[in-house]
Amino acid sequence: QKEVEQNSGPLSVPEGAIASLNCTYSDRGSQSFFWYRQYSGKSPELIMSIYSNGDKEDGRFTAQLNKASQYVSLLIRDSQPSDSATYLCAVNSQGNTPLVFGKGTRLSVIA
Amino acid sequence: DADVTQTPRNRITKTGKRIMLECSQTKGHDRMYWYRQDPGLGLRLIYYSFDVKDINKGEISDGYSVSRQAQAKFSLSLESAIPNQTALYFCATSDTSGSVTDTQYFGPGTRLTVL
């Protein structure tokens, strides 16, 4: 069974610090990787997607993918209290199967 | 207007009642999904549909059924609601169109309480 693992947290960081969120996956054939942010009681919203090894930056967010080690991470620079949310990692191995979601990591940014 | 809409947004019902949750999308996506979310358990896939004639069970389909009435509409039914079906339900859509990316976009959710 394909699995996506995340530390449930909470991960607490001070305002202005870098938050580092990690995710590991079991299916070595995985090809697409996504990070979603979910505020309490709200729906998940896509932050970033990454498909190739290395880093992908978008504003304060950087996704990092290492397929050999089967992990993907999300860095949030200059963390703000508004970044406090649960971050979901999702992985897709083939086009004809649904995404597999991790249970999420709860991030708390302390002002 | 929102691309993915869900109705109702909140519903309180009693054990044994039949409930239908509806999802509509204007994104033109071919794939639609139903998830439930419980505290500490993450998103769990109930059913998914890759096109109008395709329906597939997810990891927790027992006690649920679905109908894909059109490309834009995907309904979830609880034939006889029970209290442990109290949860937040999300509909999602994606458009793979032969590629592998399969980015999913979520509706606002329906909070269902079964008494």
Count CB atoms within 10 A of the CB of residue A41: 9
Q: What is the pLDDT of residues B53-69, one digit of tens each?
A: 999 999 999 999 999 99
Rounding to the nearest 10 degrees, give the CA dihedral for residues A45, A67, B58, B113: -40
Contact A50, A62 (CB under 8 A): no
Q: What is the pLDDT of residues B63-115, one digit of tens each?
A: 999 999 999 999 999 999 999 999 999 999 998 765 556 789 999 999 999 99
Judging contacts by C-beta atoms under 8 Å, the chain A residues touching residue B96 are: 95
B98 → chain A, closest CA residue: A95
Residue B66 pLDDT: 98
| Mutant choice from A23, A33, A43 vs B, greatest count of B C-beta within 10 A | A43
Residue B2 pLDDT: 65
- Cβ pairs bridging A and B (under 8 Å): 57
Q: What are phi and psi of A59, to 5 degrees?
A: 65, -125
- Compute CA distances A17 → A20, A24, A35, A61, A90, whole Å: 10, 23, 19, 13, 25
In one-letter notation, the amino acid at residue B74 is: F
**Distance between CA atoms of B42 and B44, rounded to whole angstroms?**
6
